Structure 1
Amino acid sequence: MSAGSVFLLAVAGVASGLAGSIAGLASLFSYPALLAAGLPPVAANVTNAVALFTNTLGTAAGSREELRGQRRRLVRLGLLSAVGGSVGAALLLGTPSSTFEHVVPWLIALGSVLILVREPLRRIAGRRPSRDGLRGRLPLIFAVLLVGLYGGYFGAASGVLMLAVLSLAADEPLRVTNAVKNVATGAANVTAAIAYAFLAPVHWQAAAALGLGCLIGSRVGPVVVRRLPEKPLRIAIALAGLGLAVSLWYRTG
């Protein structure tokens, strides 16, 4: 790999770290950069998953303030997401991805729309009788497992989907939900990355360059979220997700 390609991946990694920690759209920059560096699609996908491991480290370090007091919730969501990520990685390694990739743009678009209409949906949910115990948590459990599976299988904009799920499940500031989202999606990514490291064609030089940039960008991202107004940020995340959905739809259509 040339020095120019390594530099391109490092810069793309910084952008990916910022986009991932702020909006859940790390792959918007990292995956195309890997393709531009000459990696075939499957190698780019698994190399991307391994490199984005540092995104989880950076966002967790930068979000200590938002994650304070969230340990039990993070463990619960992280375990669910990791289970989903393991299944997703197994599916990617054992089945062709062409059929699933046609569904991806629609999933991303759905998550983006859910973020846009979060408040009306919360009001509707608030009028219904609440259910305690496992039965009341089943929709969230199922949704986190599915997003984790998607994250382990393909991953693009899995953060948007997880943010949509968590935003509907909890009444809290967006910066807190965003920080929790980063850890939850990171659990699926780490699980998949471990499998890919041993069983898939990871390009390690590309993963190192991209991962270093991701670490820098993801460490800065939570600081940016802390200073931005919530509503414009939520709208920007949703619109960026819709833009990625349209882009992927044209690519796979």
Structure 2
Amino acid sequence: MEALELAAIGAAGIAAGGINAVVGSGTLITFPTLLAFGYPPVVANVSNNVGLVPGVLSGAYGYRRELRGQLKRVLRFGSASLIGGLTGALLLLKLPAETFDAAVPVLILAACALMVLQPRINRWAKQRQGDRRTDGGVPMWIGVLATGVYGGYFGAAQGVLLMGLFGSFLHDDLQRLNAVKNVLASIVNGVAAIIFIAVSHVDWAVAATIAAGSTVGGLLGARVGRRLSPTVLRGTIITVGTTAAVIMIAR
């Protein structure tokens, strides 16, 4: 790995770790970066997933205060994320590589669309907070499960999906819900990473570089992320993601 490539991937890892802690779409930074350096899509996705695990864990740690009193909620939804992440990872490995190549542009554009809609989702979530006072029952659990499948298979913007679900079904402070989101993303990425390490090819140089960057980014994101301009952050993610989708479609 050349110095320029190492620096670019490391910087992308820092950005992704910070974004995942606050928004949940860091893959839209690291994955296109790996594609730009010529890594095959499946190898890039697997190595990226493994590398981002320390970052999502550090983000969850950074939100530890907001997690107080939520153990029951974390355990309940964590079971759905565990099953979903495992299922998504197995789908990635079992389906032909051509399926992933064809699906990725669609998934990236869908994730970008979610980023565009995120302000509306957040406003809607705030409006709904006074209407829902339970943990959503079976529909909510199934929704977290489905998000876990998506996260294990690809993962970009799974945090946006989770926050949309939480706003629909849960009555709580959004920062507390964001803390739970980080834990669930950690579970999904973690179980998928275990599967990938066991049975798939991981580019360890790439994974280690992203891991180092995302760990720093996750801690910084949890600490100062609320001070960043959401508009600038969202615009950067959308631009990078759309460019990556166009490149893959043109290949």
TM-score using structure 2 length: 0.84
SS in 2 for 1:52: helix
Provide Cα deviations, 1:163-218, integer angstroms capped at 9, x if missing partner: 22122222333322222111111211111111111211110011111100100010
Counterpart-to-counterpart distance in 2, 1:217 and 1:124: 31
Q: Partner amino acid for 2:83?
A: V
The aligned counterpart of 1:97 is 100
Q: Partner amino acid for 1:148?
A: G
SS in 1 for 2:91: helix
Number of residues paired by the alignment?
245
Provide Cα deviations, 1:192-251, integer angstroms capped at 9, x if missing partner: 1111112111100111111001000101111124x549xx74x77766666566446534
Counterpart-to-counterpart distance in 2, 1:171 and 1:244: 34
Counterpart-to-counterpart distance in 2, 1:174 and 1:240: 23
Instruction: Report how far residue 102 of structure 1 moved.
Output: 5.1
Matches within 5 A, 1:94-173: 94-95=94-95, 96-101=99-104, 103-104=106-107, 105-106=109-110, 109-110=113-114, 113=117, 115-120=119-124, 123=127, 137-173=137-173
Q: 1:244 to 1:5 in 2, by over 3 A?
A: closer
Instruction: Report how far residue 18 of structure 1 moved.
Output: 0.8
Q: Is the 8 A contact 2:20 2:26 kept in 1?
A: yes
Q: Partner amino acid for 2:165?
A: V
The aligned counterpart of 2:81 is 81
Counterpart-to-counterpart distance in 1, 2:101 and 2:227: 38
Q: Partner amino acid for 2:246?
A: Y
Q: 1:180 to 1:252 in 2, by over 3 A?
A: same
Q: Partner amino acid for 2:27?
A: S
Q: 1:185 to 1:125 in 2, by over 3 A?
A: same
The aligned counterpart of 1:14 is 14
Q: 1:112 to 1:80 in 2, by over 3 A?
A: farther
Q: 1:41 to 1:117 in 2, by over 3 A?
A: closer
Q: 1:152 to 1:179 in 2, by over 3 A?
A: same
Q: Is the 8 A contact 2:25 2:160 kept in 1?
A: yes
- Ranges in structure 1 where 5+ consecutive residues have no aligned partner: none
Provide Cα deviations, 1:117-173, integer angstroms capped at 9, x if missing partner: 44446657966xx7979xx51221111111100110011222221222122222333
Q: 1:89 to 1:120 in 2, by over 3 A?
A: closer
Matches within 5 A, 1:37-56: 37-56=37-56
Q: Percent identity?
A: 34
Matched, 1:250 2:246: yes
The aligned counterpart of 2:217 is 217
- The CA RMSD measured in Å over matched residues stands at 2.8
Q: 1:163 to 1:236 in 2, by over 3 A?
A: farther
The aligned counterpart of 2:205 is 205
Q: Is the 8 A contact 2:84 2:145 kept in 1?
A: yes
Q: Is the 8 A contact 1:112 1:237 kept in 2?
A: no
